[in-house]
Amino acid sequence: MSGGVVLSNAIASQIGLHAPYGGVVPELATREHLRNLLPMARQALHDAGRTVTQMDAVAATQGPGLPGALLIGLKAGQALAFSLGKPFFGIHHHEAHLYSPWIAAGPPEGGPAKIQPSVSLIVSGGHTLLVEVRGEFQHRVLGSTVDDAAGECFDKVGKLIGLAYPAGPEIDRLAARGNPRAHAFPRPMLHDPGDDFSFSGLKTSVRHFLEKNPAWLDDPARLRDLCASAQAAIVDVLAAKTIRAALRLGAQCVTVSGGVACNSALRRQLAEACQREGLVLRLADKRYATDNAAMIGVLAERKLLAGQPPTSLDADIQPNWAL
């Protein structure tokens, strides 16, 4: 990172490794982190045209997440910072997502973009959160999922219909040619006055539907309709509760990040709703919507420029760190 601009964002994907198991296997993820960390760090420096001694600070995810993977990244970052005599920042994974919609596409004037008051939807396979952002480093959680996250629901529905992990992108692709009104799946907690989410009931509803209508899986057109109907139920809840929270709090801006932010129906429905209500919508670029190193660097640089105290080099991982 430099002045709010991403100079490099090297990626080592593990999707193919975990796909046969239908989800992330912690032990395999930890081994891959250990295997890839140094090569990817070298690649990132090469792509940025920088040497390790030119860095002003080092950052790594401190939590929440899988303990083994967190441990490798955090301790490597702390060791590097110690060897260089540079400050180290342990970054909250969810907080970093809040800043990903503000990553600049090009060199901004005067440094990183100023954070505007907003309601932020963070939605992925591991978490679904609504957060009120009042300014830089000022936020409070409005609501979260009480069971399955939205992305987890996508994956579990995909598994029920025989799609490979991760199923979200494939459901999105199939749904594009399906009828979202083919079956009225429930919209969990849609009319609940609070800001929490629940998606386990929707997953169960799809399972019960398939038990009664197994032929849908053998008909390509009906399979597309099934994907479109299930996706519509998830997206309707996410969009409605996000817009409702923004209007209630008087926020003029809505931001969206996390892997499910790549879903085309969610992006389209939120864009239409924000235009209708006169709200500004900032969607994380798809490169920075899913878990990535750039958003960790973005937040760390903001903390560095703001003069916030660095994280202790003795600090430990926080796998269950609440936002």
pLDDT given for residue 107 in this prediction: 57
| pLDDT tens, residue by residue, 176-203 | 999 999 999 999 999 999 999 999 999 9
- Domain CATH for 156: 3.30.420.40
The answer on 161 and 96 residing in a single domain is: no
Strand, helix or coil at 145?
Answer: strand
β-bridge mates for residue 140, sequence order: 132
Q: Is residue 314 part of a domain?
A: no
Distances (CA, A) of 300 to 33, 256, 321: 21, 20, 17
The answer on 269 and 125 residing in a single domain is: yes
pLDDT given for residue 109 in this prediction: 61
pLDDT given for residue 28 in this prediction: 93
Q: Is residue 316 part of a domain?
A: no
Q: What is the mean pLDDT of the chain?
A: 94
How many structural domains is the chain composed of?
2
Q: Say yes or no to pLDDT of 304 above 60.
A: yes
Strands 253-257 and 280-283: parallel
pLDDT given for residue 113 in this prediction: 76
Q: Say yes or no to pLDDT of 214 above 90.
A: yes
Q: How many residues does the chain have?
A: 323
| pLDDT tens, residue by residue, 7-53 | 999 999 888 888 888 888 999 999 999 999 999 999 999 999 999 99
Mean pLDDT for the stretch of residues 255-262: 96
Q: Say yes or no to pLDDT of 108 above 90.
A: no
The answer on 267 and 213 residing in a single domain is: yes
The answer on 298 and 224 residing in a single domain is: no
As a whole number of angstroms, the distance between CA 169 and CA 264 comes to 9
Other CB atoms within 10 Å distance of the CB of residue 138: 10
Which domain, by its residues, includes 22? 15-105+291-305
Mean pLDDT for the stretch of residues 240-258: 97
pLDDT given for residue 106 in this prediction: 59
Q: Is residue 317 part of a domain?
A: no
Distances (CA, A) of 185 to 199, 207, 295: 11, 11, 35
Higher pLDDT, 116 or 256: 256
As a whole number of angstroms, the distance between CA 295 and CA 316 comes to 21
Mean pLDDT for the stretch of residues 63-89: 96
Q: Is residue 311 part of a domain?
A: no
The answer on 196 and 129 residing in a single domain is: yes
The answer on 137 and 230 residing in a single domain is: yes
The answer on 173 and 138 residing in a single domain is: yes
Rg (CA), the chain: 20
The answer on 203 and 266 residing in a single domain is: yes
114 Cβ partners below 8 Å, 6+ apart?
A: 136
Q: Say yes or no to pLDDT of 3 above 90.
A: no
| pLDDT tens, residue by residue, 91-105 | 999 999 999 999 876
pLDDT given for residue 16 in this prediction: 85
Mean pLDDT for the stretch of residues 240-262: 96
The answer on 152 and 124 residing in a single domain is: yes
| pLDDT tens, residue by residue, 116-125 | 899 999 998 8
Q: Is residue 10 part of a domain?
A: no
The answer on 295 and 237 residing in a single domain is: no
Q: Provide the percentage of residues in the chain whose pLDDT is more than 90.
A: 87
Mean pLDDT for the stretch of residues 155-170: 92
pLDDT given for residue 114 in this prediction: 82
Strand, helix or coil at 185?
Answer: coil
pLDDT given for residue 126 in this prediction: 84
